[in-house]
């Protein structure tokens, strides 16, 4: 797990008898606003080249957020020189998939991001700084630092990065993955890769937050500030800079009635639409829905594992940024006697046999289902590619969620490894300023 900031980049190497490792690179990105982003990503990719001999057998792009894909542009020159065997993306990125198009096609996503960025600027200029900053912060997931121009000549976006990843695939080696598809066994490796998500279910992809009556995730109430409602709930809707004394406002009511309220025609431009809350709601939805399109992989290792026998095979679980609906869908994923085995393999069984878990969505409140984590009785190491300081700068005050972190530390027998923490100890863990290396 690389330690370049708030973003995912994971290099998985599967041993093979009499051959070099089978190299898997899962995502490469860092959040917009990261200092020296291009230099940090290039340092990561230079290490990837050194570790792999410039060969990536499987390149995985989990979803179109900048903190997962920015590197395809920031280190494009290095990526273009890689020897890539195949590229995997989720079915939601397939331009020929009608269901994927019905969710939000690439042009629609780019247009939505552009529109929301414009609204954020207008709201900040109008004095509603808090909501404007919130929208702008969410849109940071779709922007990329240190890349001046995208395909359309404007600001580079995640769509440009996704396109670069597509172009890295040799002819016929770009796969849009679906849950439950046939397991993939890398040649010579004692492991197989199984796809758990995203679900091909509209409602589950749209379900990004926990249920109110019976929340599936860890409790955020323990992390709420004491002493009253959150800031702004009882505060002024606008900065005092833009307010008018009450006696003056009363004297000018007719002016506002004539020029701002319910006006059409020449004065219509003065009217202020109630776009703030709807724009913020849409920005949150766009961000969450993209997270829920995350490609989720389980790498099942051959051998008896900690449980003994075929049913005891250990699992490495890579949940990307999957949120509630994506997680819930795994219980319905099944492989019927894969590779001629005597029994079926079910999604939740893979979760239960997890020994290494890449923490979903940097440890946020709406990823990592409580019951699923508590079922990981073999869990040895949890990996969280988080930067809490950067998350705080973005006003993401619950990344990582303390109650989830506490549960991860209890559940993981060896360690919770955070990218932003030094000195994590473990028999299977090696620390470097650029990465944490885990061997299982």
pLDDT for the residue 364: 94
Q: Has residue 273 got a pLDDT over 80?
A: no
pLDDT for the residue 132: 47
43-57, 222-236, 392-406 — most confident range: 43-57
The DSSP result for 275-336, as a single string, is: -HHHHHHHHHHHHHHHHTT--EEEEEESS-TTT-SGGG--EEEE-TT--HHHHHHGGG-EES
Query: Which H or E element spans position 177?
Result: strand 174-177
Confidence grade of residue 157 (pLDDT, cut at 50, 70, 90): confident
Q: Has residue 305 got a pLDDT over 80?
A: no
State the alpha helices, DSSP H only, in 86-183: 98-104, 106-125, 129-139, 158-168
- Residue-wise pLDDT tens digits, 309-332: 556 799 999 999 999 999 999 999
The tokens describing 217, both together, are 């995730």
Q: Has residue 151 got a pLDDT over 70?
A: no
Q: Has residue 111 got a pLDDT over 60?
A: no
Q: CA-to-CA distance for 404 and 364, rounded, in angstroms?
A: 8
pLDDT for the residue 162: 96
Q: Has residue 8 got a pLDDT over 80?
A: yes
On whether the CB atoms of residues 56 and 83 are closer than 8 A, the answer is yes
pLDDT for the residue 306: 57
Strand order from edge to edge, sheet including 415-418: 191-197, 296-301, 315-318, 354-358, 381-384, 415-418
pLDDT for the residue 392: 95
List the domains of the chain with CATH numbers: 10-110+134-225+281-438 (3.60.15)
On whether the CB atoms of residues 176 and 89 are closer than 8 A, the answer is yes
Residues 6+ apart with CB under 8 A from 411: 373, 374, 376, 379, 382
203-217, 234-248, 253-267, 399-413 — most confident range: 399-413
């Amino acid at each position: 797990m690389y330690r370049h900031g708030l973003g995912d980049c994971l290099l998985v190497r599967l041993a093979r008898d009499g051959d070099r490792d089978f190299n898997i690179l899962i995502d490469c990105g860092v959040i917009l606003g990261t200092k020296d982003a291009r230099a940090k990503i290039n340092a990561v990719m230079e290490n990837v080249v050194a570790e792999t001999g410039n060969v990536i057998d499987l390149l995985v792009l989990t979803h179109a957020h900048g903190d997962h894909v920015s590197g395809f542009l920031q280190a494009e020159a290095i990526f273009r020189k890689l020897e890539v065997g195949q590229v995997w993306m989720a079915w939601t990125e397939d331009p020929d998939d009608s269901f994927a198009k019905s969710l939000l096609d690439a042009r629609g996503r780019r247009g939505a991001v552009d529109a929301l960025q414009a609204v954020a600027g207008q709201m900040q200029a109008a004095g509603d700084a808090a909501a404007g900053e919130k929208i702008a912060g969410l849109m940071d997931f779709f922007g990329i630092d240190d890349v001046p121009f995208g395909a359309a000549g404007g600001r580079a976006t995640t769509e440009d990065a996704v396109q670069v990843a597509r172009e890295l695939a040799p002819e016929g080696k770009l796969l849009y993955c679906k849950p439950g598809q046939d397991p993939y066994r890398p040649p010579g490796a004692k492991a197989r890769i199984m796809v758990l998500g995203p679900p091909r279910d509209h409602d589950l992809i749209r379900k990004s937050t926990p249920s109110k009556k019976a929340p599936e995730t860890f409790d955020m109430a323990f992390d709420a500030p004491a002493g009253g409602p959150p800031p702004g709930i009882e505060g002024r809707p606008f900065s005092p800079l833009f307010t008018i004394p009450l006696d003056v406002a009363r004297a000018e009511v007719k002016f506002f009635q004539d020029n701002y309220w319910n006006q059409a025609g020449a004065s219509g431009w003065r009217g202020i639409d109630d776009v703030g809350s709807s724009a913020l709601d849409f920005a949150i939805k766009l961000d969450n829905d993209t997270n829920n399109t995350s490609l989720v992989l389980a790498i099942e290792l051959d051998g008896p594992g900690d449980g003994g026998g075929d049913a005891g095979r250990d699992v490495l679980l890579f949940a990307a940024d999957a949120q509630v609906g994506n997680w819930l869908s795994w219980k319905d994923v099944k492989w019927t006697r894969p590779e001629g085995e005597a029994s079926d393999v079910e999604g939740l069984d893979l979760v239960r046999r997890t020994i290494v878990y890449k923490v979903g969505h940097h440890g946020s409140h709406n990823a990592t289902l409580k019951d699923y984590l508590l079922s990981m009785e073999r869990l040895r190491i949890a990996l969280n590619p988080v930067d809490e300081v950067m998350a705080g700068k973005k006003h993401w005050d619950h990344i990582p969620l303390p109650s989830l972190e506490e549960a991860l530390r209890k559940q993981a027998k060896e360690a919770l490894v955070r990218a932003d923490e030094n000195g994590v100890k473990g028999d299977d863990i090696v620390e470097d300023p650029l990465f944490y290396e885990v061997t299982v």
